[in-house]
Amino acid sequence: MNEALIHLRVPASLKARWVRLSRENSQRLTDWIIERVERSISMATGAPDQTAEGVSAEAVAEDARGLKVAAVPRGFSHHS
């Protein structure tokens, strides 16, 4: 699989919450975040879920409280 790296800056308290929730689901933090982002996109667009390989539909159904997918503001550069 061809992979790309994404860096996130979040408050330490939010990361701690995500780590706790991912561990409760016996998942790596990365897999937990991917599931929630993909589910949020699917819910917003009505498109089928495109979760990471090997992720069950049951795991995707887990609650995604607090995670929002937002558009990048105009004039914001991803490469700055």
Residue-by-residue pLDDT tens, the chain, 80 positions? 688 889 999 999 999 999 999 999 999 999 999 999 999 888 888 766 555 454 444 444 444 444 444 444 445 554 44
Contact partners, residue 1, CB within 8 Å, separation at least 6: 53
Q: Give the per-residue pLDDT at 69.
A: 45
Q: Give the per-residue pLDDT at 45.
A: 82
Q: Give the per-residue pLDDT at 19.
A: 97
Q: Give the per-residue pLDDT at 71.
A: 44
> 12-24 vs 29-45: helix axis angle to the nearest 10?
90
Q: Give the per-residue pLDDT at 44.
A: 84
